[in-house]
A and B are shown apart, each in its own frame.
Chain A
């Protein structure tokens, strides 16, 4: 379980390989990370627990990423969201930002790119907390 000082991250991607790659890399940076491959499970968990940052894929079975992030922003508007997508389109990019996401990363990306995006989000979260 994460401590109160830790940044809590919810990671959602239906491709297990993505979580497998990202989760340990973010944990190594000291973040508390919970990863999910089903959006319904992620949403249930989001209702149960507070997360500072959500990283979500867009194209998924069931509740897709756009619905998920809309729900996240509706429930906790202060939660920062980073969208990752393997099938990027102009519309999804635009809509993501209209929903208030902090960053939009098209796959493929290197770990460093994600770490930079997370660092930017963390800075914002900490500024708000202070």
Chain B
């Protein structure tokens, strides 16, 4: 698994490093910690501050390993190098897995999306404030990344483990990829899994029901028993608002998802912004 951890200088980025640390201990993922310098603040001082922050977040991830079995090289970061494609990069080779630091220059969301596209990562982990709104460039960055990325995005709001991972999937197009992402998060948090089928005017479409049945079968074969629930499309916003109080809500936001009807991009942004707990957008 390849993960991009997108950070800025706000305190919540420290939380995201802790969260990724937990994920790293389980998955031994290749990790890139990425910061973006705005062209307006590209001074030597700002760059140095960001470099130090990234090094600090790297340390948090490395410190998640309490035993000696760490797949990353734990040596201190010695120097930053300029790459041909304009990134400033620090990596300590020699580990089984990669844990590298990258600084890009430009508009944050755009740079994160571009780096993701080129590195073909499986997950972007990004954070914003737990309370309403987000301080990252007027709150736009996490929302833009979450709505426009081609891979799954985990928006971390807090480090408290959720009780359930509530998956509101587009049951017509459930990818193996998205199921695998869900499975890792269910394992990470020791959480229960709930599969939500969305009905239209209280009627569950046959294809959605069939997909839920397949998922039940899939999880039963893995000796897991997910909760199943039916939610009418019209009540989805209040359902999500209730679930996000203490659970991790996973929304399918692929291009063909009919969830887009209930959660157009604008609504997804405000949902992420308002949600008191972390949100997983599945692709």
Contact = CB atoms under 8 A, between A and B. Distances in A.
A and B touch in the complex (CB under 8 A): yes
Interface of A: 14-15, 17-18, 59, 61, 86-90, 93-94, 97, 103-110, 112-113
Contacts, number: 62
24 contacts: A14-B221, A86-B183, A86-B184, A87-B183, A87-B222, A88-B26, A88-B28, A89-B26, A89-B187, A90-B26, A93-B27, A93-B69, A94-B67, A94-B69, A97-B69, A106-B26, A106-B28, A107-B1, A107-B183, A108-B181, A109-B1, A109-B2, A110-B2, A113-B30
Contacts of B30: 113
Contacts of A17: 176
Give the top 3 A-B pairs by smallest Cβ distance, nearest first. A106-B27, A107-B180, A108-B180
B269 to A, nearest CB: 25
Nearest to A61: B221
Interface residues of B, number: 24
A110 B69 contact: no
Given A17-B176, A59-B222, A103-B96, A93 B26 contact: yes
A60 B30 CA distance: 25
B25 interface: yes
Interface string B3-39: 0000000000000000000000111111000000000
Contacts of A105: 1
Given A88-B187, A106-B184, A93 B222 contact: no
B122 A86 contact: no
Contacts of B28: 88, 93, 104, 106
A87 B181 CA distance: 9
Interface of B: 1-2, 25-30, 67, 69, 71, 96, 120, 122, 176-177, 180-181, 183-184, 186-187, 221-222
Nearest to B190: A89
A94 B29 CA distance: 14
Given A86-B184, A88-B27, A93-B28, 13 more contacts: A17-B176, A86-B180, A87-B183, A93-B25, A93-B71, A94-B67, A104-B71, A105-B1, A106-B27, A107-B180, A109-B1, A109-B2, A113-B1
Contacts of A61: 221
Given A17-B176, A90-B25, A93-B28, A108 B187 contact: no
Contacts of A15: 176
A13 to B, nearest CB: 11
A87 B187 contact: yes
Nearest to B122: A108
Contacts of A110: 2, 120, 122
Contacts of A97: 69
Contacts of B184: 86-88, 106-107
A117 B27 CA distance: 15
